[in-house]
Amino acid sequence: MVKKIQFKNNHHQRIVGLLNLPKGKPPFPAVVICHGFKGHKEQMHLLSLARELAKNGILAFRFDFGNGIGESYGRIEDIKFGQYLNDLKAAVDFLSRQKIVDQKRIGLIGHSLGGQLIMHYAPSDKRIKAAADLAGVINRKADFGRMYKYKEAEKTGYFIAYSRSKRRFLKIKFEYLKDLLNYNTVEKIKKLKIPVLIVHGTKDDSVPMIHSRIAYRLLSGPKKLAIIKNAPHTWKQPKYYKKINPVVTDWFIKYL
């Protein structure tokens, strides 16, 4: 069963999400699923994962950040990492208020930018008991030159990114990149004590594998690094998500 919901972020803006509800008697363990930079809650790798979690008794909550791609309020031209963190907190707050959720068993999953978000956010929220980072970035400064042409963006005031969902190029303000530098995710990861799973594909051409390897080494709690042979950055094909989804689901069955 899937239920569409709405809640407000810290600016009272509309955030839209979907609850994949398990069968059985509540309260259920629950996981918040965070999409990537240009992603949205309906992407197949997230949808299929939510279904797998729900099938195994875990409530899955995926939602659209305010990036203008999905149904939530906002424009991708104006996004900032800090606001993504605020949206994530609003999502965890919403989930923790639901009577069907076991408030002592809440986890986080994040893909790409969502992976960085959950690794950065989790140490500050005692409600989070386990996490799964799917091909997340941890050192943005090292990545800027390759992906966003940071110096050029600083001069022009913007950079260009292509959205497959929108089928168009997006003009994003330089402030997005500048804001990211205010967040030291490496130091946050060092503070994580909860169980963390890291998943990365060997054919990821968006986020280099080194990000996941460094994050894994920094973690001091229960941890696992799952390297998926030939998997791309966003795994839409069944041959990949049928490998990845059980690994992620088993992690939360074990630790939530």
pLDDT in tens, 65-84: 987 788 998 777 778 899 99
Query: What confidence tier does 88 reach under pLDDT thresholds 50, 70, 90?
Result: very high
Q: pLDDT higher for 38 or 104?
A: 104
- Of the pLDDT bands very low, low, confident and very high (cuts 50, 70, 90), residue 248 is very high
- 3-state secondary structure labels for all residues of 40-80: CCCCHHHHHHHHHHHHCCCEEEEECCCCCCCCCCCCHHHCC
pLDDT of residue 144: 52
pLDDT of residue 140: 63
pTM of the model: 0.92
Q: Does domain 2-138+185-255 have CATH number 3.40.50.1820?
A: yes
Q: Confidence class of residue 30 from pLDDT cuts 50, 70 and 90?
A: very high
Residue-wise burial string across 213-231, b where 16 or more C-beta atoms lie within 10 A, e elsewhere: eebbebbeeebbbbebeeb
Question: Which sequence spans correspond to the domains of the chain?
Answer: 2-138+185-255
pLDDT > 60? residue 113: yes
Span 4-30, average pLDDT: 95
For 169-223, what is each residue's pLDDT tens digit? 777 777 788 888 889 999 999 999 999 999 999 999 989 999 999 999 999 999 9
Q: What is the pLDDT of residue 166?
A: 63
When mean pLDDT is compared across 51-55, 135-139, 238-242, the lowest value belongs to: 135-139
Long-range CB pairs of 123-128 (<8 Å, 24+ gap) are: 123/188, 123/191, 123/192, 125/89, 125/92, 127/92, 127/96, 127/103, 128/92, 128/194
pLDDT in tens, 132-167: 999 999 876 555 555 556 677 777 877 777 667 666
Q: What's the mean pLDDT when you consider all of the chain? A: 91
pLDDT at 190: 96
